[in-house]
C-alpha cells in the first residue's frame, strides 16, 4: 500500500524489476569475501585477549613462529606507533592493541599459516603476559568516583568548565531551547521516567572476512566485505602508515552490515601478514569473534521528563542521556540528544547527554544509531501521557508532530517532511481499529532518523549495443544496484534491464563514502542521475551531429533523440543507433557524476504493533505489525518495503530478547546465535509496510533514505503494546519473559492501571 502525493509520473522509478545481481545470489554463485581463494593463500587468525582490561606486559611469538606451516606472526609492534589523542588512535589501537587491551576479544597479535588448523594452533601458542586491571563494565562503574580510567589521555569534550583530569566520560552534549522552568510551570502533567538498555549486535549473517594480496612492488589488493571500500583503503593505509595509492580495495558481495561494517577490523592485519609472508592472506572471523570483538550498539541509561498541558500540548522536555560506547569514544549520546525530542514541537527543552567508555567491544554504528533508545523513552512516555490525560495516543502525536517550518532541536526549520502523513497512514489503516483478542494489546510509536549525504561517484558507460553500464562506489547491501539502474533508466529512457549496475573498486570509480546514514540510494543515486543527465547532453550532441542539425533542436524522449526543429520531419535516433556510431561522432560515450550530496531529508516512521502476552509466563508474541514510513519517493518499492520490514524485525528482537550478557570479569556469556537471540521466522508475523511518499525537494527524484528509520519505533511500539495487554510499563530492555512476568507479578498479577 502506498500513500502518494501528486508527483511526476515515472516510467521506471517505482517499478519492481528483478534485481540485477539476483540470479547470482539465488544460484549460490555470488562471491562474498569468504568465498574467494587465491593461489598460495595463507589463513590468518587473530590472537585475542581473554581479559576485559589489562596491560600487555610482553608477547612472545617465538614458539608460534617455529610451528609447521606458520609464515607470518605480527603484533602491534609491526604497525607504526600512534599517539594517544591522535585522531586515528581509537581506530588504530582497536584493530590491534598496543600497550593495553580494552575488552575481551581485543586483538593483540595475528598469525598466518598454510592451513587454518596450523594458524589456530599457532595462535594458541602465542604467549601474551598480561597485567590484569579491574574492568569497568557498567555506566555506574565508569562514573564512580575513583573508577579506573580507561584512557589516561581522555579529557571530556564539551565539559563546562573544560575538563582538566581524564575520566571515562568522552563527551558531553547539551542542547537547550526556550525556558525549561517556565515550561514545566505551565504544564498540568509532569512525568519523569528512567530507562535502561543493554548493548545489542547488528547480527549480520556474514562474518567479517577479507583476502589481502601484497605484491613484490609493495602494492596490495584487498577483497573484503565492507560498507565502504574507500574507507577500508584509507583506514588500512592509516594503520600501516602507507600511501593510500598502494592499496586497492575490491568490494566483495556483502552479507549484511546495518552499520557494523562501516569500520575495519581485519584488513590491516591481513595486509601486514601478507606483506611479511609474500603470499595472500585470508582472514574470516568466527561468529564468536564477531560477537566478542566487533561493534555492538551502545547500552544506555536514559532519564526523560515531559511537561504536558491538559489538552495534550507538550510544553517542556528534559532529557539526561548516558550512552556507553564500549572501549573508545563514540557518538551515541550526541546522536541521542539530536533525536530524543526531534519529532515533536516542544518549545522548552533541555538535553544533556554523556558518552562514556567501558571495557566492552568498541561500539559501531547500528541502523539509526542511538535513536531507537531515545524513541523507547520518548514514545513510551507519550503513551503514558495519553493514558493519564485520556487522549488517544494517535491524536496526541498528531497534535504535537513537527511539520514543515517547525524548528528542530538544533534550531533550523524543517523542510517538507512526512511525519503527519505517516501518522495518518496508520490511523487510516484497518489495523488501527481491528479488534484485539484475549491477552492482546496494541502499541503505537513513531520514530525519526536523519539521512546523510556525503561524497558519491558514478560513471555511466554506454556500450556499442546500446546498453549501459552504471558503475558506482557504493557497496550494495540490500538491492541498491537495482535502484541505481532504475534512476539511470529513468534519465536515459532505456529499459532497466539494458542497464548493468556495477559496484566499482577503488581504482575503477571515483571516491565514494561509506554506505551509511541511509545514503546509497539518496546520494549515490544523485551521482547516477547527474552522470546520466550529462550522458543525455552528450547523446543529444552526437545525435545533432548525425542528423546535421543544431543541438538545441534535439530533445531526448524515451531513449531517443527527437528532432524538434522546424526543418521538416526527421526520424528519431534511438540510443543504440548513436552508440553504434560513437567512433565516428567523437568516441566512447562515458560520463561521470561525482558530488557531495546536499539536502539529506529526514525520515519519519510510525508503527503499530499487536502483542499477545502469556500472563503466567511473561512470554510475549508479536501477532500483528503495520509500519508506515516516508520514503520520499520509492525507487524500487519492494526493497523499500524490505528495509522497513527488516528494521521492524531487528527492532522487535532488540525489544524482546537481544542483549549482550557479560560475567563479572567482562567476558561475554552469550557469543552465539543460540543465546544471542535474533528473531527467527516463527517469531514474527507478516509485517505490513506502508510506503508514504512525501518527496525530498533536494533530490532530483525526491528520495529520502529509508534504510534506518524502520528500526526506531519498534521498541516503544512493543512496550506500549505490552502495557496495553498487561497494564505494566516495561522500562528496561530486553523485555524478556522474566522481566515481563516480574512486572505482571509486581502489578498484582492482572491487568492493572
Partner 1 sequence: MSRVHVTCTINGDPIEFLCDGGQTLLDALRDEVGLTGAKEGCGTGDCGACSIVMDGRLLCSCLALAPEADGTTISTVEGLASGDDLHPLQQCFLEGAALQCGVCTPGFLVAAKALLDRNPDPTETEIRYGLAGNLCRCTGYDKIVRAVQTAAQTINES
Partner 2 sequence: MPVRVHLSSNLRGPTGGVAEVEAEGATVGALIDDLDRRYPGLGDALRSGVSVVINDLLIAHPDYEPVADGARIYFVPQTAGG
Partner 3 sequence: MLTAMRYASPTTVAEAVDLLGSDPDARVYAGATDLIPQIRAGRPEPTVMVDLKRIERLCAISSNGSTYTVGAATPTADICADAGLTAAFPGLVEASGLIGSDQIQSRSSWGGNLANASPAADTPPSLIVNEARAVIAGPGGERTVPAAEVATGPGATSLGPGEIIVEFELDQPPARTADAYLRLIPRTEMDIAVVGAAARVTLDADGNVAAAAVALGAVAPTVVRVPDAEAALIGNEPAGDALAAVQAAASAATNPIDDKRGTVAYRRQVAGVLARRAVSMAAERAREQGGQS
List residues binding partner 1 (CB under 8 A).
Answer: 16, 18-19, 21-23, 25-32, 34-35, 37, 117, 202-207, 253-258, 284, 286-287, 477-479, 636, 638-639, 641-643, 645-650, 672-674, 678-684, 686-687, 689
The binder of 7, among partner 2, partner 1, partner 3, none, by C-beta within 5 to 8 A per type, is none
480 binds partner 2 (CB under 8 A): no
Identity of the residue, 365 or 491, whose beta carbon is nearer to partner 2 in the bound complex = 365
Identity of the residue, 553 or 742, whose beta carbon is nearer to partner 3 in the bound complex = 742
Identify the CA nearest to 716 among candidates 343, 466, 278, 450: 343
- Rounded to whole angstroms, the Cα distance separating 201 from 256 reads 12
Identity of the residue, 291 or 448, whose beta carbon is nearer to partner 3 in the bound complex = 291
Q: In Å, what is the CA distance from 174 to each residue of 171, 354, 407, 719?
A: 10, 9, 17, 28
In this structure, the strands spanning 620-630 and 468-472 are: unpaired
The binder of 369, among partner 3, partner 1, partner 2, none, by C-beta within 5 to 8 A per type, is partner 2
Identity of the residue, 83 or 686, whose beta carbon is nearer to partner 3 in the bound complex = 686
DSSP state of 753: -
Identity of the residue, 18 or 415, whose beta carbon is nearer to partner 2 in the bound complex = 415
C-alpha cell at 663: 560475567
First to last CA, the chain: 36
The binder of 254, among partner 3, partner 2, partner 1, none, by C-beta within 5 to 8 A per type, is partner 1
Phi, psi at residue 403, to the nearest 5°? -135, 175
What are 129's strand-pairing partners?
A: 58
Min dist CB 745 to partner 3, Å, is 8
C-alpha cell at 392: 488517544
Site string for partner 2, 104-123 (x = CB under 8 A): --------------------
Residue with cell 558518552: 355
The binder of 124, among partner 2, partner 3, partner 1, none, by C-beta within 5 to 8 A per type, is partner 3
Contact 441, 724 (CB under 8 A): yes
Identity of the residue, 415 or 680, whose beta carbon is nearer to partner 1 in the bound complex = 680
Identity of the residue, 511 or 673, whose beta carbon is nearer to partner 3 in the bound complex = 673
Contact 728, 664 (CB under 8 A): no
Site string for partner 2, 12-41 (x = CB under 8 A): ------------------------------
Residues that bind partner 3 (CB under 8 A): 115, 117, 124, 288, 616-619, 621, 656-657, 661, 669-670, 672-675, 677, 679-680, 682-683, 736-738, 741-742, 745
Identity of the residue, 99 or 616, whose beta carbon is nearer to partner 3 in the bound complex = 616
Contact 481, 503 (CB under 8 A): yes
Site string for partner 2, 246-285 (x = CB under 8 A): ------------xxx-x-----------------------
Query: Kind and range of the H or E element at 629?
Result: strand 620-630
- What's CA 680's distance to the chain center, in Å? 21
361 binds partner 2 (CB under 8 A): no
What are 171's strand-pairing partners?
A: 157, 355
Min dist CB 151 to partner 2, Å, is 19
Cis amide leading into 734 (omega within 30)? yes
Min dist CB 627 to partner 1, Å, is 10
DSSP state of 692: E
**What is the footprint of partner 2 within residues 513-572 (CB under 8 A)?**
516-519
C-alpha cell at 717: 511500539
Identify the CA nearest to 608 among candidates 590, 634, 628: 628
Q: Which stretch binds partner 2 (CB under 8 A): 234-242, 402-410, 557-565, 671-679?
A: 402-410
Cis amide leading into 121 (omega within 30)? no
Residues, the chain: 753
The binder of 449, among partner 1, partner 2, partner 3, none, by C-beta within 5 to 8 A per type, is partner 2
Phi, psi at residue 335, to the nearest 5°? -70, -35
- Rounded to whole angstroms, the Cα distance separating 108 from 128 reads 8
The binder of 596, among partner 3, partner 1, partner 2, none, by C-beta within 5 to 8 A per type, is partner 2
Site string for partner 2, 368-387 (x = CB under 8 A): xx------------------
- Rounded to whole angstroms, the Cα distance separating 251 from 683 reads 33
Residue environment code for 33-43, b if the CB has 16+ CB neighbours within 10 A, otherwise e: bbebebeebbb
Min dist CB 229 to partner 1, Å, is 16
Identity of the residue, 439 or 594, whose beta carbon is nearer to partner 2 in the bound complex = 594
Identify the CA nearest to 50 among candidates 612, 653, 671: 671
598 binds partner 2 (CB under 8 A): yes
H-type helices in 363-499, by residue range?
371-389, 393-400, 419-427, 480-492
Min dist CB 537 to partner 3, Å, is 55
Q: In Å, what is the CA distance from 415 to each residue of 161, 403, 700?
A: 35, 8, 16
335 binds partner 2 (CB under 8 A): yes
Min dist CB 670 to partner 3, Å, is 5
Min dist CB 683 to partner 3, Å, is 5
Min dist CB 326 to partner 2, Å, is 15
453 binds partner 2 (CB under 8 A): yes
Contact 72, 122 (CB under 8 A): no
> Interface with partner 2 by CB under 8 A: which residues?
158, 160, 173-177, 202, 258-260, 262, 331, 334-335, 337-338, 364-369, 408-413, 415, 449-454, 516-519, 596, 598-600, 697-698, 705, 707-708
Amino acid at each position: 500500500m502506498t500513500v502518494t502525493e501528486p508527483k511526476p509520473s515515472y516510467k521506471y522509478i517505482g517499478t519492481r524489476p528483478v534485481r540485477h545481481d539476483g540470479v547470482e545470489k539465488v544460484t549460490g554463485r555470488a562471491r562474498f569475501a569468504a568465498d574467494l581463494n587465491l593461489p598460495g593463500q595463507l589463513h590468518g587468525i587473530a590472537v585475542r585477549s581473554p581479559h576485559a582490561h589489562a596491560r600487555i606486559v610482553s608477547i612472545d611469538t617465538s614458539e608460534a613462529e617455529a610451528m609447521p606451516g606458520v609464515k607470518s606472526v605480527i603484533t602491534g609492534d609491526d604497525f607504526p606507533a600512534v599517539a594517544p589523542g591522535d585522531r586515528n588512535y581509537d581506530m588504530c589501537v582497536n584493530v590491534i592493541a598496543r600497550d593495553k587491551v580494552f575488552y575481551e576479544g581485543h586483538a593483540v597479535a595475528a598469525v598466518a599459516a598454510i592451513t587454518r588448523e596450523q594458524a589456530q594452533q599457532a595462535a594458541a601458542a602465542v604467549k601474551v603476559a598480561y597485567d590484569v586491571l579491574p574492568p569497568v563494565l557498567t555506566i555506574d562503574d565508569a562514573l564512580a568516583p575513583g573508577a579506573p580510567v580507561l584512557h589516561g589521555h581522555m579529557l571530556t569534550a564539551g565539559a563546562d568548565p573544560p575538563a582538566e583530569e581524564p575520566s571515562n566520560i568522552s563527551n558531553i552534549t547539551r542542547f537547550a531551547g526556550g525556558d525549561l522552568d517556565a515550561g514545566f510551570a505551565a504544564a498540568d502533567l509532569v512525568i519523569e521516567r528512567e530507562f535502561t538498555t543493554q548493548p545489542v549486535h547488528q547480527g549480520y549473517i556474514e562474518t567479517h572476512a577479507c583476502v589481502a594480496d601484497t605484491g613484490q612492488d609493495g602494492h596490495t589488493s584487498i577483497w573484503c566485505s565492507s560498507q565502504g571500500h574507500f574507507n577500508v583503503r584509507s583506514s588500512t593505509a592509516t594503520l600501516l602508515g602507507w600511501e593510500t595509492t598502494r592499496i586497492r580495495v575490491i568490494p566483495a558481495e556483502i552479507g549484511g552490515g546495518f552499520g557494523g561494517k562501516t569500520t575495519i577490523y581485519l584488513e590491516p592485519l591481513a595486509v601486514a601478514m601478507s606483506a611479511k609472508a609474500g603470499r595472500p592472506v585470508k582472514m574470516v572471523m568466527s561468529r564468536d569473534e564477531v560477537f566478542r570483538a566487533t561493534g555492538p550498539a551502545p547500552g544506555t541509561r536514559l532519564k526523560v521528563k515531559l511537561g504536558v498541558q491538559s489538552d495534550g500540548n507538550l510544553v517542556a522536555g528534559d532529557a539526561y542521556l548516558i550512552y556507553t560506547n564500549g572501549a573508545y569514544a563514540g557518538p551515541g549520546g550526541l546522536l541521542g540528544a539530536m533525536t530524543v525530542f526531534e519529532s515533536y514541537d516542544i518549545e522548552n527543552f533541555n538535553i544533556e547527554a554523556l558518552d562514556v567508555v567501558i571495557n566492552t567491544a568498541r561500539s559501531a554504528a547500528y541502523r539509526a544509531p542511538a535513536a531507537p533508545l531515545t524513541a523507547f523513552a520518548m514514545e513510551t512516555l507519550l503513551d503514558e501521557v495519553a493514558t493519564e490525560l485520556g487522549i488517544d495516543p494517535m491524536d496526541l502525536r498528531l497534535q504535537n508532530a513537527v511539520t514543515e517550518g517547525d524548528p528542530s532541536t538544533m534550531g533550523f526549520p524543517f523542510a517538507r517532511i512526512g511525519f503527519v502523513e505517516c501518522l495518518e497512514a496508520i490511523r487510516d489503516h484497518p489495523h488501527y481499529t481491528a479488534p484485539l483478542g484475549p491477552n492482546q494489546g496494541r502499541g503505537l510509536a513513531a520514530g525519526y532518523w536523519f539521512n546523510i549525504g556525503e561524497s558519491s561517484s558514478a560513471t555511466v558507460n554506454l556500450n556499442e549495443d546500446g546498453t549501459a553500464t552504471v558503475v558506482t562506489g557504493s557497496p550494495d547491501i540490500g538491492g541498491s544496484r537495482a535502484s541505481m539502474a532504475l534512476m539511470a533508466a529513468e534519465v536515459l529512457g532505456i529499459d532497466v534491464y539494458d542497464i548493468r549496475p556495477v559496484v566499482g573498486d577503488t581504482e575503477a570509480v571515483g571516491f565514494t563514502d561509506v554506505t551509511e546514514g541511509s545514503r546509497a540510494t539518496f546520494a549515490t543515486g544523485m551521482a547516477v542521475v547527474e552522470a546520466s543527465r550529462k550522458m543525455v547532453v552528450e547523446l543529444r550532441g552526437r545525435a545533432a551531429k548525425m542528423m546535421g542539425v543544431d543541438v538545441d533542436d534535439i530533445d531526448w524522449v524515451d531513449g531517443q533523440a527527437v528532432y524538434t526543429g522546424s526543418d521538416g520531419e526527421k526520424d528519431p535516433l534511438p540510443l543504440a543507433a548513436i552508440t553504434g556510431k560513437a567512433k565516428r561522432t567523437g568516441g566512447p560515450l562515458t560520463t561521470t557524476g561525482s558530488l557531495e550530496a546536499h539536502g539529506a531529508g529526514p525520515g519519519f516512521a510510525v508503527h503499530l504493533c499487536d502483542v499477545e502476552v502469556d500472563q503466567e509466563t511473561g512470554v510475549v508474541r508479536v501477532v500483528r505489525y503495520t509500519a508506515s514510513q516516508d520514503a520520499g519517493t520509492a525507487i524500487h518499492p519492494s526493497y523499500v518495503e524490505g528495509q522497513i520490514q527488516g528494521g521492524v524485525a531487528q527492532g522487535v528482537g532488540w525489544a524482546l530478547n537481544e542483549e549482550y550478557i557479560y560475567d563479572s570479569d567482562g567476558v561475554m556469556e552469550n557469543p552465539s546465535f543460540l543465546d544471542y537471540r535474533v528473531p527467527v521466522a516463527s517469531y514474527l508475523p507478516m509485517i505490513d509496510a506502508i510506503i508514504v511518499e512525501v518527496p525530498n525537494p533536494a533530490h532530483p527524484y525526491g528520495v529520502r533514505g529509508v534504510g534506518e528509520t524502520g528500526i526506531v519505533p519498534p521498541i516503544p511500539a512493543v512496550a506500549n503494546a505490552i502495557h496495553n495487554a498487561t497494564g505494566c510499563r516495561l522500562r528496561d530492555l530486553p523485555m524478556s519473559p522474566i522481566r515481563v512476568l516480574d512486572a505482571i507479578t509486581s502489578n498484582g498479577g492482572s491487568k492493572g492501571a
